Amino acid sequence: VFKLMDGYLKNDSVSLQKAILDHVEFTVARSRFSFDDFEAYQALSHSVRDRLIERWHDTHQYVKRKDPKRVYFLSLEFLMGRSLSNSIINLGIKDQCVEALSQLGFELEVLAEQEGDAALGNGGLARLSACIMDSLATLDFPAWGYGLRYQYGLFRQVILDGFQHEQPDYWLNFGNPWEIERVHISYPVKFYGTVEEEIVDGKKFKIWVPGETVEAVAYDNPIPGYGTRNTINLRLWAAKPSDQYDMESFNTGDYINAVINRQKAETISSVLYPDDRSYQGKELRLKQQYFFVSASLQDIVRRFKDLHTNFQEFPDKVALQLNDTHPSLMIAELMRVLVDEEHLDWNEAWGIVGKAFSFTTHIVVLEGLEKIPVDLLGSLLPRHLQIIYDINFLFVEDLKKRFGSDYDRLSRMSIVEEGPVKNVRMANLSIVSSHTVNGVSQVHSQILKTKVFKDFYELWPEKFQHKTNGVTQRRWIVGSNPGLCGLITKWLGTEAWIRNVDLLLGLRQHAANPELQEEWRMIRRVNKKRLADYIEAMSGVKVCIDAMFDVQVKRIHEYKRQLLNVLSIIHRYDCIKNMKKGDRRKVVSRVCLIGGKAAPGYEIAKKIIKLVHVVAEKINNDPDIGDLLKLVFIPDYNVSVAELVVPGSDLSQHISTAGHEASGTSSMKFLMNGCLLLATADGSTLEIIEEIGEDNLFVFGAKLHEVPSLRDKARDFEVPRQFARVVRMVREGYFGFGDYFESLCDSIEGNGGDFYLLGNDFMSYLEAQAAADKTFVDQERWTQMSILSAAGSGRFSTDRTVGEYAEKTWGITPCKCP
């Protein structure tokens, strides 16, 4: 009882200082009279970790006692970034830490920089998972995250001579204070083998006799809520050799090779796949997915069985959230456990599955949907393939009753895709088996209903929901923009917006107030200075902070149209070059920043990166241009780089071809930080427009409904001469490497078809750019738009997103630890 009332650990600065010094001496094993920044970071982290563990135990004990329905957020990717600052903020001990450190001669900010990113994900989907965890904890929901503990996170992007090179991210090199290894929490995960029959009490059952076993060991990562004691768990699985692993091989006399083979088990969780487009038929990836699914489900079922014996109660206690199709093998796995191991009959089991799962898709185009070749699945997981066939058989029988012999429809909806290579369509499996399906923005959900999953919507309209994504203001304002955080608190007269973000609307009434405007600009200027220093340190390019910082940072994809951005920068450069000297005074200076990683096998994306570099080289070294225009590529874009870039940007670009970005979440971070958006009417931007009004951002380009006919007409479309001119400059080698860029140019001209409509949108893009320039000159107007952006960003907090999932999808309520 004492423990629930009050922590053992004190949070005043004296106690924290003692904790830090003790950890220096006993955890880091250094002298308390002499340690460096990194050792101080380690000691501070361990002091913070102790405090997290304390709350986390309390939360677990409390939740276990109350036994509410829990949600399990299942994702193969989490982009957590750094943990130190975030934990300190959420624990509410920042001032005390700063004080404790300063007496020791250290600065919190400097120590925080010592930490490497936990980059266990690719992009939007993975960062969304991390923001959702923060909101789940803050809102006191009884929730668990499950993921994989990759030893190598997303590759480090190194630029050599303008080309992207990938280097391994062995992030665990110096230890990871934010995880707790749970050697006693481990489960065997099985692969291969055959399916046999067994008879129990006169009844026949299928039994899977696996061929290989690997052990899954739990690593727990405490996730603290803000302004609450609740601290939830993100459990990541690591693969270890199992004692049950193929013991036969040890009897052949080849002991050394038997050990080496056994050790190979660890490869399952060793590396994150760095592609967010598609990969079909990779055995290791499939193994990762099943490894994740099997370990997580064993853990979930064990927890359920601790307190319950009747599986009919399972859906009252367990909500299983599929973050895209990546964990969807859990559907077949739960059927297998219920039918083969728990001996429920098929219909009972199927009823439970249908009430437990919900499915979110993050993909807009059909080609992006995951497929697993039947042969591969059958060899790795023979019993699961049978189960999927059975689910499909019953589903298709139902369809026939409803749609008769509409065979086109049946073959489109079938979970198993027929053809030269048979595939299992994981999205179809997920929709058929879940009670709820949702997209990640309004327009995305609409596209799912009318195009991608149209057939399923016609069958089960009630299953389809929409949940607009969000981001957490704890990391993206409080953590990364403390200046703005203080200013907002001052003008709202309360810190309550950090937990109740709708309060930001209160800034609207002050948007035109010159005093707020002045303070707002001051803070943004400090952030720009910090970013300018970073740019110089990293690229050697000096930039002027009076210029407009114009930023596009995200994964490199053709549909995100970084190429459109580069072409307009070339156009701007060309215009300045051809201007009369006197006219140059009217040019608004710009610092253009582009950053993002290309999937290692994505050739066109890699060419775009090289193009940015050659264009930058030319512009930045042109003495004729000076500060009027700079272009810098930000290498190795990741969460912690974003924390620096977002607060320091004036304008940010979200310029995907309409209908291609499911949602987009970085725009929400920029919005919260008072950065204006230059954007197409796509994904969540449509809702941002709704919220802050069209006058407060710069929108351009083809609308969603225009895209199909524009594509049809693309071959006859006469591209604007400005567009033809800049493409010609690239093609003809004005920036060098003309041959290398040929295929890139072809993709947007003539026979390439310009699928993403760069030529079509070019002029309206230039107009939007000009409007941004014009507004920037009027700093009062600009600042007002900036304040209104931040004021309207409340709707885009994951607090809102998670609240909606809890109520409409998961059916869970808060369980607040006293």
C-beta of residue 759 within 8 angstroms of C-beta of residue 717: yes
DSSP letter string over 632-699?
Answer: EEE-S--HHHHHHHGGG-SEEEE-PPTT--S--SHHHHHHHTT-EEEEES-TTHHHHHHHH-GGGSEE
Q: Which is nearer to ligand 26Y, 416 or 440 (CB)?
A: 440
C-beta of residue 90 within 8 angstroms of C-beta of residue 474: yes
Least spacing, CB of residue 577 vs ligand 26Y, in Å = 36
Per annotation, catalytic residue among 213, 665, 685, 783: 665
Per annotation, catalytic residue among 69, 156, 362, 383: 362
DSSP code of 368? Answer: G
Cα gap 356→351, rounded to integer Å: 9
Per annotation, catalytic residue among 560, 561, 610, 711: 560
Task: Give CA torsion, residues 768, 769, 770, 772, to 10 deg.
Answer: 90
Q: Which is nearer to ligand 26Y, 662 or 686 (CB)?
A: 662
Q: Which is nearer to ligand 26Y, 23 or 444 (CB)?
A: 444
The label of the residue with tokens 């490869």 reads 267
Q: Which is nearer to ligand 26Y, 112 or 125 (CB)?
A: 125
Q: Which is nearer to ligand 26Y, 324 or 643 (CB)?
A: 324
Least spacing, CB of residue 370 vs ligand 26Y, in Å = 5
C-beta of residue 212 within 8 angstroms of C-beta of residue 187: no
C-beta of residue 675 within 8 angstroms of C-beta of residue 649: yes
Q: Which is nearer to ligand 26Y, 349 or 380 (CB)?
A: 380
Q: Which is nearer to ligand 26Y, 123 or 479 (CB)?
A: 123
Write the secondary structure of 339-354 as one string of H (helix), E (strand) and C (coil). Answer: HHHCCCCHHHHHHHHH
Residues 6+ apart with CB under 8 A from 744: 563, 604, 607, 608, 611, 730
Task: Give CA torsion, residues 748, 753, 759, 761, to 10 deg.
Answer: -120
Q: Which is nearer to ligand 26Y, 384 or 654 (CB)?
A: 654
User: What length is written for the chain?
Assistant: 818
Residue 342 has which token pair?
């728990």
Beta strands 651-654 and 676-680, pairing class: parallel
Per annotation, catalytic residue among 70, 82, 669, 795: 669
Least spacing, CB of residue 279 vs ligand 26Y, in Å = 5
Q: Which is nearer to ligand 26Y, 374 or 569 (CB)?
A: 374
Residue type, 382: P
Least spacing, CB of residue 120 vs ligand 26Y, in Å = 12
End-to-end CA distance of the chain: give it in Å, rounded: 11
Least spacing, CB of residue 557 vs ligand 26Y, in Å = 8
Least spacing, CB of residue 278 vs ligand 26Y, in Å = 5
Residues 6+ apart with CB under 8 A from 769: 568, 572, 678, 698
Q: Which is nearer to ligand 26Y, 96 or 122 (CB)?
A: 122
Q: Which is nearer to ligand 26Y, 116 or 123 (CB)?
A: 123
Residues 6+ apart with CB under 8 A from 737: 610, 614
Residues that bind ligand 26Y (CB under 6 A): 122-125, 128, 275-279, 326, 362, 370, 440, 469, 661-665, 683
Closest by CA position to 235, among listed 217, 252, 248? 217
Q: Which is nearer to ligand 26Y, 49 or 554 (CB)?
A: 554
Closest-CB residue for ligand 26Y? 124
Residue 534 has which token pair?
């970073």
Write the secondary structure of 727-795 as one string of H (helix), E (strand) and C (coil). Answer: HHHHHCCCCCCCCCCHHHHHCCCHHHCCCCCHHHHHHHHHHHHHHHHHHHHCHHHHHHHHHHHHHHHHH
Least spacing, CB of residue 77 vs ligand 26Y, in Å = 6
Catalytic, 669? Answer yes
Biggest distance spanned by C-alpha atoms of the chain: 96
Cα gap 640→531, rounded to integer Å: 12
Least spacing, CB of residue 426 vs ligand 26Y, in Å = 9
Least spacing, CB of residue 401 vs ligand 26Y, in Å = 33
Element containing residue 79 per DSSP (H, E)? strand 78-81
Per annotation, catalytic residue among 156, 463, 467, 554: 554
Least spacing, CB of residue 238 vs ligand 26Y, in Å = 20
Least spacing, CB of residue 464 vs ligand 26Y, in Å = 16
Least spacing, CB of residue 127 vs ligand 26Y, in Å = 8
Give the three-class secondary structure for 435: coil
Strand partners for 594: 552, 633
Residue 523 has which token pair?
């803070």
Least spacing, CB of residue 277 vs ligand 26Y, in Å = 6
Catalytic, 560? Answer yes
Catalytic, 554? Answer yes
- Angle at CA 401, nearest 5°, toward 400 and 406? 40
DSSP code of 152? Answer: B
Cα gap 356→348, rounded to integer Å: 13
Catalytic, 630? Answer no
DSSP code of 462? Answer: G
The label of the residue with tokens 């977002």 reads 646
Catalytic, 362? Answer yes
Cα gap 277→602, rounded to integer Å: 9
The label of the residue with tokens 């310029």 reads 655
Q: Which is nearer to ligand 26Y, 225 or 327 (CB)?
A: 327
Residue 543 has which token pair?
């930039």
Catalytic, 580? Answer no
Per annotation, catalytic residue among 240, 444, 555, 561: 555
Residues annotated as catalytic (active site), given as ranges: 362, 554-555, 560, 665, 669
